[in-house]
Structure 1
Amino acid sequence: MNYASLPEAVLAETTVEEPAVGELAALPAHSLSVVVPMYNEVENATALIDAVQAALAAYPWPWELIVVDDGSTDGTGRTLDRRARETGTHIRVLHLARNFRQTAAMQAGIDASRGDVVATLDGDLQNDPADIPRMVARLLAEDLDMVAGWRRQRQDGMFLRKIPSMLANRLIRRVSGLKFQDLGCSLKIFRGSVLRQVRLYGEMHRFIPAWLATVTSPSRMAEEPVRHHARRAGSSKYGISRTFRVLIDLLAIHFFLRFGTRPGHFFGGIGLGVLFVGSLMLAYMGVLKLTGHEIGTRPMLSLGFFLVLGGVQLLTTGVLAELLMRVYFDVGRARPYRVRAGEGSETPGEAPAEAGWHG
């Protein structure tokens, strides 16, 4: 990508030290998959492939680029296909049947990836592919599971993008417990074996670090300053409305992070509280009735009755949720934990051939 026309101040702010080819060659052997979802980005399609190709041309390990055309209607898919044929077989283009939105497109790319390391970035060229080698080097050198980009000098409009993003990041940090400064940056590097344990649904692509925290420790995640460029072509697919969708998604994140394996505690805790308040109201009404007061027309009688009824329903919902969770873990053979793959590790329930008994 040609950044010659960018202001010198911006270039100075975003300049970072790149690792030498020799340093990359000294890293553990690996393969790299770069996943990029695109929707109606025909102006950036060719430039995106060229930018990734230029950034990784000297990369000493095998790599591939997977571009997911998320049901574009402006010719993005055709442009990607043409440029991929011209560039090489390491450029793969996936065409989704319709616009499934960014999360599904990103999951499709992850499913199609074959690399030990997976990099994700947006297709609007605001993320700089030249940051990928440095981030991969840190992931492997420090034995991490994720390195997320931190856009220190964002080149977005203040009110339309920065303020909502700042508020969303603050809420996400509070709910998820992650201390990252920029959870909304799409440029991230993952250890493939860990990322593939997470499934993305709805619009959960912006919460990948939080979902990743369900299968690995936050201490194995890091944040790296990256360059960020103003959009040069096309139009943004984001708006102020995504802030409200973030709030809704945060509720799901909070539930799955805190109560994903014990839903009975969530529903039961609320149910017991509601049941207790309703019982107090009905007990008070009972005392009034026994002392000769008329209670038939009092709102508290109806409120107490419905609170008791709601509390019982929440308790039974918690029991049903626990039953479903047991079915999920017992019948589906899923486990409520993850073992980190590595030298000397083994699969639970499968003893190595040389294992014996003590005594």
Structure 2
Amino acid sequence: MGSPSPNPPALPFLLLLFLSVLKVLSAGAPSLLYQLTAVSVAPQGTPRFWASGWLGPQLFLTYSSGGNAEPWGAWRWESQESWFWEKETWYLKTQERLLREALRLSKNQGAHTFQGLVGCQLEADNSSQHTARYALDGAELLTFDPVHRVWLGDSLEAQIVKKSWANESQRAEKESEFLLTTCPQKLKSHLQKGQGNFRWKEAPEVRARSHVEPGSAWSTLTCQAFSYFPPELEFTFLREGKPEPYSMRGVEQWPNGEGAFHSQVILRVPFGDESQYSCMVQHPALASSITVNFEASGGLPLPIRLSLVVGSLLFLVSLAGVVTFVVMCRRRGERPAPWIFRRRAGDDVGALLSAPGSAQDPSP
């Protein structure tokens, strides 16, 4: 009987928040979110700030330092006013300046990350809910209240950052206007002009593999789904065609760089039982579920593998003894070892093979 593997390591706060928000929004509530990231140290050739824009679970915009906001995926063909993307660029350049300044003020040395999640969501009654949260090195730092126009945070770093932002002329008023007015208006515009994009569906590519660590009595089964949309997807492990009681459901979806999603689930089973298992995937873009089978890891049970290892070692020891005996005997008879190929007149050992470039005896 298999058992599910432990949960993956904890993720930074804002990434977990973003994924949880996407799960809620994918259920049907229209939303517009900007995911912002600034780093104090970046590898050569990579930006120190980048941003992603999301309409529900769909990536529609990308931006990085020194560039412009650019539409993504099917949203490249959305009919928008000519100035629309210029305003997006201006907004994200402002966010870049604010986040990089906050990062400089809160941490002076070392590699650090400052992130933001900013946007809005439309409710059924056409009202909107706002989101403005910021994190430093994966820990929540600040939130913004657009109604009272204040930043909230109690840590020393939070006090430093919100003092800097509050001292900037009309910063709070502009943030409040964006969250309460501009963001809902842009979201409604996208809902009207990009209706077809919200109906996009992409079926997943499913792969199954098994792996066993050397010396282990357990095998790890991994079922993966790639490049699918929308993010709703369900895995089910089957054992001899029947649902596995320990099957993991409700797996987290992770956005890839193309606006689609990927995910995986892992199950540990006794070594040698891999072929009894299969993985079933269900997704809205599939007319019927996909089932893929696991193959045996290709090894032998642990006791047999240990026996073969011991037998191989004994064979090598015996072979070394025989070789040593032959070499000693040949040396006593002034004969070379069998892997040294040389030829001397009147020596039949040379008939084995002549060394490259050595003189050959004339034919009789």
TM-score in terms of structure 1 length: 0.24
Q: Which has the higher strand share?
A: 2
Q: Which has the higher contact order (CA 8 A, sep 6+)?
A: 1
More helix by share: 1
Report the structure number with the largest CA radius of gyration. Answer: 2
TM-score, normalised via structure 2 length: 0.24
